[in-house]
Chain A
Amino acid sequence: MRPDLLAVAVVSAGALAFEVLLARLLAIVHWHHFVGMVISLALLGYGASGSVLTALQDRLRPHAAPAFAVCALLFGAAALASVAIAEALPFNALEVLWSPRQWLWLALLYLLFAVPFAFAAACTGLALACVDAPVGRIYRADLLGAGAGCLLAVGLLDLLRPDQALPAIAAAGLVAAAIVLAGAHRRRAAAGALICGAAFGIAAASGWPGLHMSPFKPLPQVLLVEGTSVVAERTSPIGLVQVVRSERIPFRSVTGLSLANRQEPAEQLGLFIDGEGPTPVTRFTGDFAPLAYLDATLAALPYRMAERPRRVLLLGLGGGSDLLLALRHGAETIDVVEPDDGVASLLRGDLAAFAGGILDRPEVALHVETARRFAARQGAAYDLVVMDASPGRGGALAETFPLTVEAFAAYLGRLAPEGVLALPHALRLPPRDSLKLVLTALEALERLGAREPARHLALLRAWDSVILLVRRAPFDAAQLAALDRLAEALNFDLGWHAAMPREAADRFNLLGAPVLFDGVAALTGPDRAGFVARYAFDIRPATDDRPYFQDFFHWRALPLLWTAVRSGNAGLLDWGWPVQVATLAIAVLSGLVLILLPARVLAGRVSGRAGRSTAAYFLLIGAGFMFVEIAVMQRLVLFLGDPVHAFAVTLAAFLVFAGLGSGWAAGPRRQGAAARLPWIAVGAIATLAAAHGIAARWLSLPDALDAIPRSLLAAAAIAPLAFAMGVPFPAVLARLKAGSPALVPWAWGVNGCASVVAAALAALVATSFGAQALMILGVVAYLFAGLAQQRIP
């Protein structure tokens, strides 16, 4: 590979790795709500680079190599500096509803992170405008580098904490600078760049810039208590797991504990993931007597109902409390399914003595994979399946494939005829999670052919949490009587079952009105659709096409919610949608500025029509690429398993094969067909996207493949589509470079802005209408792009 193209690939790898790393870093330091916003807006740096290059291109062209090297160096330096400066900003995500000043800090945060991306993008933009090589090859280097960077980042994050991995990623900029300078026979300057790289290495070794969590997160608060310390840590691209011991004031975290319980909880360690927690890890010596209080929790009900469950499936390990309960009740076979082996490796390693080796007992088998993949396999039937349905860390717009209608149908499919699916979750008022879980279960039961699905459900609650029990067969009178007795003894309230009177719903833990009973009664009655439409929260069940269980936001309820928020009830407002819409609005406005400002510079140099058509084309292919890519990625998550690795594999495959497509478009044989090339690509994209839509069902089917062959199969499925998607950009940019070279950096910037706007829009389309709709929108964007390019001379 030519040194300048290699340098493009290296910077591009660094930029993508920085993006992945920043997402982890921000999730650890702050809350997830703003991670997507900050990063997607920071990527406007790509647009900004195009604008600046448009203005400066004539002056930079004679000095392309040093200019590239300076930009690459500055990318590395800015990547480090932006993180260090950001840590000093007093941004508090929790306070944005209350203090306008926080919006300023937030804006500063994303401007800060836009700087490294702008320098990285300037490198590719400079190469596209100035390097004497076919556009397709330059773009290929950019995409191949980005694909490699994506895999590199996920690999690095498997080994290092994000703050530790940062200097290595920043060093990519210096390496790229050295490559370009050495290629341009500027050896001393190249050596200087490498020395700077060594300085980054020293910074890394000395622990700069460090990782400072927001003081409002639970972990830093716990660490203020005298006698607390982090005793174990595991890092992975999924999360930073930290275990805290408190010597003086014990952790006592037990969810759904009856107020009738008198026993003090056993000794616990606090497990924190990305600073959130604690999830208790309980001391276990083999003696169950100190754990008797667990019998007084909601989670114990399925074990105490009637027949003791012999075969138990736990979908999620948590801190091991559910496993202790299953062991205490003498389950003979316990399968534990957990996609992240971080906690399991701690329980088997550093914490083995404390946790009593619960994962290594003969009746326990740990399966490191997703709940969906495990449930879809053929295997023995279970008497009890437990799925913790409490909100995850991903926020309202995170995909939740374990909580879709299809997922529930799969779990119910793994139950023995008398088996129970238990779904413990937090109590929220007004009820949201509980009602959505009920509706999801009802639809799953209906799909499985249940005649009276309402009779398959029972809902019970403690003062702080709720459990939904779903049976494959209807509950019989004896089982319901057993539940009634247990509820009475433990002072739990009956939320709902088919045989209870409304008056029995609000006895020990009063909600003012039997809101759960009334809600479930409405959902199991004739006016289900009307109730769902009128409810102030979106309780439509999640499906595999629209897998957003945690999205409860209804625009119509915003005025109501806002009044409540200002009166002190900020917890009512789900942030996902408002933040996403704000992101889209800011992206559109900033994008317009970044696109229109350089248009003035270009005004005298190119015809208005050429300018408009160029803008339209690169906007549309930028958006089309994002829509199709995100839709395909979402579907493949289910097939591939855990979301982080699925993200890495699919994104890398998209980038690499699009890169190869771009290189193919630059081949000498294609030059004769240059005018037809965009239409050929658009046609191929439309056909292959349709094929993906049809194949989606097939791809979600279970199979016996291991992770690596599954990843290869997914990459193969992506390959032809991504290959075609790599063609439209270089095909037309090469035409511009030959006919109107002044438009090249602008087209690059427009494409960058389009990606940012489209990514923000894609999240809204996917949550509202599903992945299928997003895919169709992507294809439509490509078709219009085909029309727009005909007007580019």
Chain B
Amino acid sequence: MSNAGTNRPEAGLPPLGRRAAALTSASLLAARPARAQDAFANPRENMIGIIAQHARNAANVLDGQTAIDPRVLAAMRRVPRQAFVPPALEASAYDDRPLPIGYGQTISQPFIVALMTDMLRTAPGQTVLEIGTGSGYQAAILAELVATVHSIEIVAPLADEAERRLRQQRIRNVTVHRGDGYYGVPSAAPFDGIMVTAAASVIPPPLLDQLRPGGRMVIPVGGAFALQHLVIVEKLPGGQIRTRQTLPVNFVPFVRSGSR
């Protein structure tokens, strides 16, 4: 079953109305009790503001919309990002930048987390797969949006650490698997969406098989510090595979005239 549209109640509104609708539902969702600790309430709110600002520059990327799905923003309001970074970086947890989390791994810039999550087009009740648990932050965001998250991490100490953090946050709908992402989790398939947060030089056929028709896979190209572009793999209702390559921002590659 296609999930397109189920998470976009405002999809039919004109641009201005759509944005207003987005704001209204975002504030309604924000009114729900946040699990995040209050000391970080202001930085978290600033983060949401900055994400919205970046999203306005990314309109074409977001299928012509100028805002991130309010459900995604609400999830990002609820998950305490500072719990997913090393203690020394807690103060920078909400900065508009990717952060190193040890083992040469990174937690993506908040806007990129929001954008990639938005691109996955999640809906309540879904099951999604994440390849590359890393800090566990992306899994925690997904856990707010869908029923079940399976996440596979190749580096054992990272998986242990992420599992501990998720448990600490009382997030119970994420299962962290250790091992090879290539084969996915056949026992939990099909997935409504697959989020690949690690570098991928092939798109594994087993993952395409485990993606439900109508589902999407999102893959970043380039590292968190130097993101090149995003790849969205769509499995059409008939089972055919299409990919879309897009920059995370609108970028028109022309200057007015002249040379260097």
Contact = CB atoms under 8 A, between A and B. Distances in A.
A95 B100 contact: yes
A310 interface: no
A564 B60 CA distance: 14
A288 interface: no
A99 B97 CA distance: 9
Given A534-B256, A564-B251, A568-B112, A510 B156 contact: no
Interface stretch (B10-18, B121-129, B197-205): B197-205
Contacts of A571: 221-222, 226-229
B154 A225 contact: yes
Interface string B98-135: 10100111001101100100000000000000000000
Nearest to A540: B259
Contacts of A768: 260
B260 A564 contact: no
A216 B104 contact: yes
Interface string A506-519: 00111110000000
Interface string B181-215: 01000000000000000000111110010000000
Interface size class of B (residues with CB under 8 A): 35 or more
A534 B258 CA distance: 7
A253 B225 contact: no
A429 B247 contact: yes
Nearest to A251: B201
A593 interface: no
A339 B100 CA distance: 37
Interface stretch (A162-170, A554-562, A749-757): A554-562
The interface centre, meaning the residue of A257, A491, A564 with most chain B CB atoms within 10 A of its CB, is: A564
Interface string A409-436: 0000000000000000001111000000
A163 B254 CA distance: 45
Interface residues of A, number: 62
B253 A508 contact: no
A536 B253 contact: yes
Contacts of B247: 429-430, 564, 569, 572
Interface stretch (B30-38, B166-174, B236-244): B236-244
B39 interface: no
A430 B241 contact: no
Nearest to A92: B100
Given A225-B154, A257-B202, A533-B257, A564 B249 contact: yes
A656 B105 CA distance: 47
Contacts of A261: 205
Nearest to B61: A512
A94 B54 contact: no
Contacts of A215: 103-104
Contacts of B227: 568-571
B54 A568 contact: yes
A567 B223 contact: no
A226 interface: yes
Contact of B248 (A98, A427, A555, A569): A569
Nearest to B203: A259
Contacts of B221: 464, 571
Contacts of B98: 98
B245 interface: yes
Given A226-B156, A567-B58, A510 B245 contact: yes
Given A92-B100, A220-B104, A508-B242, A554 B226 contact: no
Interface string A351-366: 0000000000000000
Given A249-B154, A567-B54, A98 B225 contact: yes
Contact of B223 (A216, A257, A264): A216
Given A99-B97, A429-B245, A534 B201 contact: no
Given A98-B225, A259-B243, A538 B100 contact: no
Contacts of A464: 201, 221, 231
B179 interface: yes
Contact of B251 (A225, A253, A430, A535): A430
Contacts of B97: 98-99
Nearest to A215: B104
Interface in A211-266: 214-217, 220-221, 224-226, 248-250, 252-255, 257, 259, 261-262, 264-265
Contacts of A253: 201-202
Given A429-B228, A509-B245, A534 B255 contact: yes
B111 A568 contact: yes
Contacts, number: 169
Interface string B147-179: 000000011111000000000000000000001
Contacts of B231: 463-464
Interface string A536-564: 11100000000000000111110010011
B164 to A, nearest CB: 18
A97 interface: yes
B57 A563 contact: yes
Contacts of A220: 104
B241 A567 contact: no
A145 to B, nearest CB: 40
Interface string A482-513: 00000000010000000000000000111110
B180 interface: yes
A572 B227 CA distance: 8
A571 B228 CA distance: 4
B242 to A, nearest CB: 6
Interface string A701-729: 00000000000000000000000000000
A427 B202 contact: no
Contact of A556 (B100, B203, B260): B260
Contacts of A569: 227-229, 247-249, 251
Contacts of B226: 94, 570-571
Nearest to B110: A568
The interface centre, meaning the residue of A214, A254, A429, A768 with most chain B CB atoms within 10 A of its CB, is: A429
B25 interface: no
Interface in A724-760: none
Contacts of A429: 228-229, 245-247
A248 B158 CA distance: 17
Contacts of A250: 180, 182
A779 B180 CA distance: 61
A94 B111 contact: no
Nearest to B255: A556
Contact of B249 (A221, A510, A568): A568
A563 B100 CA distance: 22
Nearest to A493: B243
Contacts of A252: 182, 201-202, 204
Nearest to A767: B260
Contacts of B115: 568
B241 to A, nearest CB: 5
A510 B242 contact: yes
A535 B201 contact: no
Contact of A509 (B223, B243, B251, B256): B243
Contact of A97 (B225, B228, B256): B225
A408 to B, nearest CB: 22
B194 to A, nearest CB: 14
B225 A536 contact: no
25 contacts: A216-B225, A224-B103, A224-B104, A248-B179, A250-B180, A254-B202, A255-B201, A261-B205, A428-B229, A430-B251, A463-B231, A463-B245, A491-B241, A509-B242, A511-B244, A511-B246, A512-B244, A534-B254, A534-B257, A536-B253, A553-B260, A557-B253, A568-B54, A568-B109, A568-B249
Interface of A: 92, 94-95, 97-99, 214-217, 220-221, 224-226, 248-250, 252-255, 257, 259, 261-262, 264-265, 427-430, 463-464, 491, 508-512, 533-538, 553-557, 560, 563-564, 566-572, 768
* Nearest 7 Cβ contacts at the A-B interface: A215-B104, A571-B228, A94-B225, A430-B253, A536-B253, A98-B97, A571-B222
Given A428-B228, A568-B108, A569-B229, 13 more contacts: A225-B154, A248-B180, A261-B205, A463-B243, A464-B231, A491-B241, A509-B245, A512-B246, A534-B255, A563-B57, A567-B249, A570-B225, A571-B226
